[in-house]
A and B are shown apart, each in its own frame.
Chain A
């Protein structure tokens, strides 16, 4: 009754086609493709661990069906580093020890990457509001907000 549907989209800059069941979410599809950088936490849109970037906006991969990706551009944490160089946010998370168990990290990275692309002049209040959108249960929000602040500074310096 629900058959499989073919979906074509951009995945981290490359064209990609996949056969999906309609009930598969974007998070499910990424796991099936062995792109395990996007962890699946609550599966109900609360924790933010599976945050990815669809077109230019952050999206919770567990709240979007894979078939809805048709014609869109999807970015995951695997696409963050370019040319063998870590993204400024990844560098900053490392420098500030903003990673402990690491489960929530990709979600925070993608959320912050989308935010910095929208506004490289994120102030401290905006960073506080941003980190409150995703759940972390071990590192603590202090190092995460320091890392984002550091990366924001880097982003403003970049040509």
Chain B
């Protein structure tokens, strides 16, 4: 239960970090909050020969709200998102989801971008960025910054499309319109632990009808995704219990459930049905 030896680097700028990653030729890992990487190193599931600790970066952009979008820099901790203003739908949604991320000591150190890079299928933030069509900025020394839509970032359980010399330097989320209704629900066996299944529902209520409906699940499949068939089934109709039940039923049918020691396929479908229903019901609170 002790990590293997590694070389420790503590860059002061993003450029310096990118150079160190490029020079390492794939043998380096980025250390941000360390709340997932360090346990993996203790188990020796991860044995990087070089650790690039980005906590001392002086030019990492902070959490900023401007021009109708929220920019989340690489060192923004889960706890920082708890402090977003609940006056606007996006702030209310993210601060409410942040409360479900790990226990408080983990929230104080773990980072938003780090959680995405980890790509755990049950991550709250992985679900959020997919549902909210977030743009992720990946940077490397070789190619500079590039923008990747969240829907193209996750490649499988704990796998992403990022290259080994790339670092996520920002996640950019467009502000949600004032008429946005949202609901978030997750089921986990233990408080503060990873959820088994989680669901997020969003729509704008216009003239009593749901428009721009977004329904996404996490923990259900290898990667979180939007369920377009469910979204289409709800689009344009008025929010009601029968509609929600129908949508939850459809969600349970169309997913391709993961199976693991926590839940088999049948149980995961049941959880998807319940979580989607609860998320939808929450939108009318």
Residues of A within 8 A of B (CB): 1-3, 5, 21-23, 25, 28, 43-46, 48, 51, 57-60, 62-65, 67-68, 70, 111, 115, 129-130, 132-133
Which residue of A3, A25, A63 is within 8 Å of B109 (Cβ)?
Answer: A63
Decide: B4 and A133 in contact? CB cutoff 8 A.
no
A68 and B191 contact, CB distance less than 8 A: no
With beta carbons under 8 angstroms apart, the residue of B7, B49, B192 that contacts A132 is B192
Interface presence of B163 (CB below 8 A): no
The chain B residue with its CB closest to the CB of A2 is B5
For B5, the chain A residues whose CB sits under 8 A away are: 1-2, 21-23
- Can you list 8 contacts pairing A with B, beta carbon distance less than 8 Å? A2-B6, A5-B8, A21-B5, A44-B42, A62-B42, A63-B39, A67-B10, A132-B191
Interface residues on B, range: 20 to 34
- What residues of B have a CB within 8 angstroms of the CB of A23 in the complex? 2-6, 41
- Bound Cα distance A57, B53 (Å): 19
What is the CA–CA distance of A132 and B189 in the complex, to the nearest angstrom?
13
Contacts A44-B39, A58-B104, A58-B105 hold; do A64 and B34 have CB atoms under 8 A apart? yes
**B35 and A63 contacting across the interface, CB-CB below 8 Å:** yes
Which residues of chain B are within 8 angstroms of A43 by Cβ–Cβ distance?
1-2, 42
Q: Which residue of A lies closest to B103 (CB)?
A: A133
The answer for the CA separation of A43 and B34 in the assembled complex, in Å, is 13
Q: Is B106 an interface residue (CB 8 A)?
A: yes
Residues of chain A with a CB closer than 8 A to B192's CB: 132-133
Q: A22 near B6 (CB under 8 angstroms)?
A: yes
B55: Cβ under 8 A from any A Cβ: yes
Residues of B with C-beta under 8 A to A46 = 39
Find B105's partner among A2, A70, A129, A133 (CB 8 Å cutoff): A133
Residues in chain A near residue B43, CB distance under 8 A:
44
Q: In the complex, what residue of chain A is closest to B192 when comparing beta carbons?
A: A133
Q: Which residues of B contact A1 (CB under 8 A)?
A: 5, 7, 49
What chain B residues lie within 8 Å of A45 (beta carbons)?
35, 38-39, 106
Give the distance in Å from the alpha carbon of A60 to the alpha carbon of B55 in the complex.
Answer: 16
Interface string of B27-46 (1 = CB under 8 A from A): 00001001100110111000
Evaluate contact between A133 and B104: CB separation under 8 angstroms: yes
Beyond the given pairs A44-B1, A115-B104, 4 more chain A to chain B contacts, judged by CB atoms under 8 angstroms and listed by A's residue number, are A2-B6, A45-B106, A67-B10, A111-B105
Cα–Cα distance between A5 and B53 once the two chains are bound (Å): 14
CB closest residue in chain B, given A115: B104
B108 interfacial contact with A, CB 8 Å = yes
Q: Does B51 contact A (CB under 8 A)?
A: yes
* CB-defined contacts of A129 to chain B, threshold 8 Å: 191
B8-A48 in contact (CB<8A): no
Q: Are A2 and B109 in contact (CB under 8 A)?
A: no
User: Are A51 and B105 neighbours in the complex by a CB distance under 8 Å?
Assistant: yes
The residues in B between 221 and 273 inclusive whose CB is less than 8 angstroms from any CB of A are: none
The complex places the Cα of A46 from the Cα of B103 at a distance, in Å, of: 10
- Contact residues in A for B3 (Cβ distance below 8 Å): 23, 25
Complexed CA–CA distance, A22 and B4 (Å): 10
Q: What residue in chain A is nearest B40 (Cβ atoms)?
A: A44
Quote the shortest CB–CB distance from B109 to chain A (angstroms).
6
Q: Which residues of B lie under 8 Å from residue A68 when comparing CB positions?
A: 53, 55
Q: Which residue of B lies closest to A3 (CB)?
A: B7
Which residue, A23, A48, A111, has most C-beta atoms of chain B within 10 A?
Answer: A23
A63-B35, A64-B34, A68-B55 given as contacts; is B8 within 8 A of A22 (CB)? yes
Instruction: Find chain A residues with CB under 8 A from B105 CB.
Output: 48, 51, 57-60, 111, 133
Give the one of A45, A46, A57 with max B CB within 10 A.
A45
Q: Which of A48, A64, A65 is B103 in contact with, Cβ under 8 Å?
A: A48
